[in-house]
Chains A and B, each alone.
Chain A
Amino acid sequence: MSRTTEHHRQVAPQPAALDTTVVTSWKAPIAFAIFALAATALAVFVPRDGDTTFRWSSPTDAIQLPEISVPALPALWTVIVLLVAITAYSAWLVSRKRRVPMWLIVVFAILFMFGFLTWAAAGASLPMIGLLFGSLSLAVPLIFGSLAGVLGERVGVINIAIEGQLLAGAFTAAVVASVTRQPWFGLLAAMVAGMLVAFVLGAFAIKYFVDQVIVGVVLNVLVTGLTSFFFSQVLAPNAATLNTPPRFDRWPIPVLGDIPIIGPVFFRQTVVVYLMYLAVAVVYIGLFHTKWGLRLRAVGEHPQAADTVGIKVNRTRFWNVALAGAIAGLGGTFFTIGSGIAFNKEMTAGAGFIALAAVIFGQWDPIKATLAALLFGFASNLQNTLSVIGSPVPSEFMLMLPYVVTIFAVAGLVGKVRGPAAAGKPYIKS
């Protein structure tokens, strides 16, 4: 009896102590200040006159939205004032030992983007639908790749081979679809190809306990080598029969496709994009609301405990890594049959690594990783759009932007992130 009271006495003060401990960080205000300064620098050193027009609908749409036109320089200055205000508010919050809320970061980002767009497109009109549509398209392989990465790491296997899986998917999709003249077979074949790469990853990482990072890096090289070899040796001489993939047609969804802004961007896409929505939803719900996801996460966080309650750790890992491979392979189809382009050497061009960055940026969460991938897609498409309408920024700097933003975001806003505890560690049953 006395032991219990003693126990109570020891434990009781703890929750109160925990409540008062608030970790504050100056990262967000500092990052805000840097971006506010950058915007000011633009307005002061490279002022641009003229009006910026945002076009929100294309002429063929059923519902026409008015074009919004703003004078570039005053708009930019307004944005700067707001940015500075947000920076000051966040600094005040931190000085009062309070957290900077997420919505503030989002508002800041949107404001900054608006200011930047009005400045960059001054004197021209910006096709917002095209910009967003293209962003989503470019993000498709990144989203599939990051979903595969999330699944792999959540089950405890680091998947650096996403790049290889995308490339394998792109290659097989192109060949199979060209031979059968049927993109659906290409889609299936791409999933099988991604899965085969995952089998190798699983076999080496799970059965032979080889370091997962090593296997991943090496698999990328292996797939690059294999696809490039067969491209030069087999596909290039027989391009007409082996490398002219048919493409998926766009399928506008009847009612949803007519909604202004959202319709043309999200619901007039190809089947690959619709599969992507499905994959995001299934992975999210599966991970957090089903028995499968619970087991998967248990294996990735604490394999010993999972084993104790009867989950077959290595089997769970192997098949989920295979599933992740199939998803990544599906993402690879975007490059060939998704866009109707013939396969070419190393055509994924580092998308797998960007997807990996999205996984970490998205804190191993399928929804956040998807958002991170969308950000990358947006940034790279922004460069395309701005180079078409002519912008004062050298295109290289526009291309650089997403990567710089990611570095800032990872260093300033996301900070120290903690992945699944057992990711990267082979499980040896004792």
Chain B
Amino acid sequence: MSDPQPPRPGAQGSDPDVAIEQPGAVSSAATGTRPRSVGADASTGGTPPAGRGDVEPPSRWHTTLQRITTGNAAISVLSVLLALLVGAVMIAFTNERVQETSAYFFARPGDTLAAIWDAVSGAYSALFQGSVYNFRRDTFVAGIRPLTETLTFATPLIAGGLGVGLAFRVGMFNIGGRGQMLIAASVAGWVGFGFDLPWGLHMLVALIGGLIGGALWGGIAGFLKARTGAHEVIVTIMLNYVAFYLVSWMLRTPGLLQAPGSSNPKTPAMQDTATFPDLRPQFNLHFGFLLVIVATVVVWWILTRSSLGFRFRAVGENPNAARVAGIDVRAMYVYAMLISGALLGLAGVSQVLGTVTTGFTAGIDAGIGFDAITVALLGRSTPWGIFAAGILFGAFKAGGFSMQAAEGVPVEIILVVQSLIVLFIAAPPLVRTIFRLPEPKPGGPREGRRRPRPVVTKEVEAK
């Protein structure tokens, strides 16, 4: 891929796919192995062909070993392990049984160790069984149900992550996910319960209405940034609150969103013609997940294959250079925020039409607008990276609830583990130091070269 090093807000790719796209991160060019993608040398600057034959290439084993230990996959796996380890320490320290047994630790240390093992293994096996496969069920379909729950939780996370990530690539920071989701959910919900339309068409109208709602709400920030230079961080934060209070007001006002004959700030249930169908009757997983896959492909296509995406990335890399090159930077800001808002809108729509179809409250966003930022960061703002990150975080969410139910470990520990994963992955040198891994070879592409780039501070000077 002839990808001119897009502005990924992170140091290196997080999964093997990204690593292939980004030869700068792997030391393949330097160690003499063949780059696995066409045109990879172009973006690393290219080693001069002369002198390559002088040194005997290192053995295949050696390079493979080096790539595993210094590459991104290892860092990612170790980061997850480290974060889970910290989580384990927290679970162990706050466990009552561990506290009781530690009182006589020096008399019988075995008791304490056994208690620690019970607490941690119990919690993490509950996490696994709540998110991937439940071994206590008899049939495969019942056993695999947690995995479908994971995908259900992942659906809005991926959609939101794509929205935030796309804005990142244009050099903008969209913290307004909450507001965009709320507005989109309100529009889609209003269409969903207030109109009588045939099956299929109803869903489509609700979906499109929601997307437009989210896009417009996000577009306000883009428009203001383009027209007046208002900082999108501040505008999106403010719009979150505006949307929240607006939706709260509509939810408690009869005739707008409130369910007739009710005094609760809640809407009526969605009509059956508008809801996303479940993919299998036994599961909660709904049609929204397929939409999210489509969205991922579309975002991937926009960013890497379309001329709009090229302009997006050019603006994200350097708005001044992009302007000099004839790109309408202001229009790019507006388009990017429109698309970003629509993607976060998709997250909101999938919540009201897919996950919670019995009517919604002002808490329908469930913090996804902010989780989406972490998802985008973990996914390095690449569409498939975000897809993977969304599924991982969806698994944590699904498993976290069953962990809380089964073992009494508060679900918030998931937040700690998630944030630690992102932190560790963003700082590969730290992980290397902890595990005493070898540094990538000097002379190859170094850490500092692909250092993170500022996301929010870019402004077009001199309009």
With known contacts A211-B455, A357-B234, A232–B377 Cβ distance under 8 A? no
* B415 in contact with A222 (CB, 8 Å): yes
With known contacts A209-B452, A218-B377, A225-B415, A230–B238 Cβ distance under 8 A? no
CB distance from B354 to the nearest CB of A (A): 25
* B452 in contact with A210 (CB, 8 Å): yes
With known contacts A410-B234, A416-B229, A418-B459, A404–B242 Cβ distance under 8 A? yes
With known contacts A213-B455, A410-B231, A219–B419 Cβ distance under 8 A? yes
* B423 in contact with A218 (CB, 8 Å): yes
Flag B398-437 by CB within 8 Å of A: 1 or 0 each. Answer: 0000000000011011111111101100110110000000
* A204 in contact with B426 (CB, 8 Å): yes
- Chain A residue contacts of B32, Cβ below 8 A: none
Flag A215-233 by CB within 8 Å of B: 1 or 0 each. Answer: 1011101101110111011
A424–B233 Cα gap in the complex (Å)? 14
A345–B415 Cα gap in the complex (Å)? 13
With known contacts A228-B415, A428-B451, A397–B245 Cβ distance under 8 A? yes
Query: Is A103 located at the chain interface by the 8 A CB criterion?
Result: no
* A407 in contact with B94 (CB, 8 Å): no
Flag B373-386 by CB within 8 Å of A: 1 or 0 each. Answer: 11001000000000
Query: Is B228 located at the chain interface by the 8 A CB criterion?
Result: yes
* B235 in contact with A407 (CB, 8 Å): yes
Report the nearest B residue to A210, measured CB to CB: B426
With known contacts A158-B457, A210-B452, A410–B173 Cβ distance under 8 A? no
Report the nearest B residue to A30, measured CB to CB: B228
A222's partner among B228, B370, B419 (CB-CB below 8 A) is B419
A222–B430 Cα gap in the complex (Å)? 18
* B224 in contact with A407 (CB, 8 Å): yes
- Chain B residue contacts of A425, Cβ below 8 A: 454, 457
A211's partner among B94, B229, B453 (CB-CB below 8 A) is B453
* A406 in contact with B238 (CB, 8 Å): yes
A356–B426 Cα gap in the complex (Å)? 23
A428–B446 Cα gap in the complex (Å)? 13
A234's partner among B94, B430, B457 (CB-CB below 8 A) is B94
* A214 in contact with B451 (CB, 8 Å): no
* A226 in contact with B238 (CB, 8 Å): no
* A209 in contact with B416 (CB, 8 Å): no
- Chain A residue contacts of B412, Cβ below 8 A: 224-226, 228-229, 232, 345
CB distance from B458 to the nearest CB of A (A): 9
Query: Is A27 located at the chain interface by the 8 A CB criterion?
Result: yes
Size of the B side of the interface (Cβ < 8 Å), in residues, is 58
* B448 in contact with A208 (CB, 8 Å): no
* B454 in contact with A211 (CB, 8 Å): yes
Query: Is B141 located at the chain interface by the 8 A CB criterion?
Result: no
Within 399-430 of A, Cβ neighbours of B (below 8 Å) are at 399-400, 403-404, 406-407, 410-412, 414-419, 423-426, 428
* B231 in contact with A211 (CB, 8 Å): no
Query: Is A394 located at the chain interface by the 8 A CB criterion?
Result: yes
B233's partner among A356, A414, A428 (CB-CB below 8 A) is A356
A231–B377 Cα gap in the complex (Å)? 27
A360–B457 Cα gap in the complex (Å)? 11
Flag A24-35 by CB within 8 Å of B: 1 or 0 each. Answer: 000100000000
CB distance from A398 to the nearest CB of B (A): 9
A229–B418 Cα gap in the complex (Å)? 13
- Chain A residue contacts of B426, Cβ below 8 A: 204, 208, 210-211, 214-215, 218
CB distance from A318 to the nearest CB of B (A): 15
CB distance from A39 to the nearest CB of B (A): 20
Query: Is A212 located at the chain interface by the 8 A CB criterion?
Result: yes
Query: Is A353 located at the chain interface by the 8 A CB criterion?
Result: yes
Query: Is A396 located at the chain interface by the 8 A CB criterion?
Result: yes
A412–B231 Cα gap in the complex (Å)? 12
A225's partner among B173, B416, B459 (CB-CB below 8 A) is B416
Query: Is B63 located at the chain interface by the 8 A CB criterion?
Result: no
A410–B220 Cα gap in the complex (Å)? 13
A222–B86 Cα gap in the complex (Å)? 12
CB distance from B382 to the nearest CB of A (A): 15
CB distance from B430 to the nearest CB of A (A): 6
* A218 in contact with B419 (CB, 8 Å): yes
Flag B234-249 by CB within 8 Å of A: 1 or 0 each. Answer: 1101110110011011
CB distance from B256 to the nearest CB of A (A): 11
- Chain A residue contacts of B245, Cβ below 8 A: 396-397, 399-400
Query: Is B11 located at the chain interface by the 8 A CB criterion?
Result: yes
With known contacts A214-B9, A214-B10, A394–B249 Cβ distance under 8 A? yes
With known contacts A407-B224, A426-B451, A221–B374 Cβ distance under 8 A? yes
* A411 in contact with B230 (CB, 8 Å): yes
- Chain B residue contacts of A229, Cβ below 8 A: 90, 94, 410, 412-413, 415-416
With known contacts A210-B452, A215-B423, A232–B410 Cβ distance under 8 A? yes
A177–B459 Cα gap in the complex (Å)? 44
- Chain A residue contacts of B447, Cβ below 8 A: 209
Query: Is B191 located at the chain interface by the 8 A CB criterion?
Result: no
- Chain A residue contacts of B452, Cβ below 8 A: 209-211, 214, 426
Report the nearest A residue to B454, measured CB to CB: A424
- Chain B residue contacts of A204, Cβ below 8 A: 423, 426-427, 430
* B418 in contact with A221 (CB, 8 Å): yes
Report the nearest B residue to A421, measured CB to CB: B457
Query: Is A361 located at the chain interface by the 8 A CB criterion?
Result: yes
A417–B234 Cα gap in the complex (Å)? 12
Candidate in A210, A215, A360, A399 with the most chain B CB atoms within 10 angstroms: A210
* A221 in contact with B454 (CB, 8 Å): no
- Chain A residue contacts of B230, Cβ below 8 A: 407, 410-411, 414-416
Within 168-213 of A, Cβ neighbours of B (below 8 Å) are at 204, 208-213
Query: Is B175 located at the chain interface by the 8 A CB criterion?
Result: yes
CB distance from A355 to the nearest CB of B (A): 11
A210's partner among B173, B416, B427 (CB-CB below 8 A) is B427
- Chain B residue contacts of A210, Cβ below 8 A: 10-11, 423, 426-427, 452
A328–B294 Cα gap in the complex (Å)? 43
Flag A314-358 by CB within 8 Å of B: 1 or 0 each. Answer: 000000000000000000000000000000010000100110110
Q: A208-B430, A225-B415, A411-B235 are in contact. List 14 more A-B contacts (CB 8 A).
A: A158-B456, A210-B11, A213-B456, A222-B423, A225-B412, A230-B94, A233-B409, A357-B234, A399-B245, A403-B239, A403-B242, A404-B242, A406-B238, A417-B231
9 nearest interchain CB pairs? A225-B415, A416-B229, A211-B452, A424-B454, A396-B249, A232-B410, A225-B416, A228-B412, A222-B419
A-B contacts, 18 listed (Cβ < 8 Å)? A209-B452, A210-B11, A211-B453, A211-B454, A211-B455, A212-B454, A214-B9, A214-B377, A214-B455, A218-B377, A221-B370, A229-B416, A354-B237, A407-B230, A410-B238, A411-B230, A415-B229, A418-B459
- A positions within 8 Å CB-CB of B: 27, 158, 204, 208-215, 217-219, 221-222, 224-226, 228-230, 232-234, 345, 350, 353-354, 356-357, 360-361, 394, 396-397, 399-400, 403-404, 406-407, 410-412, 414-419, 423-426, 428
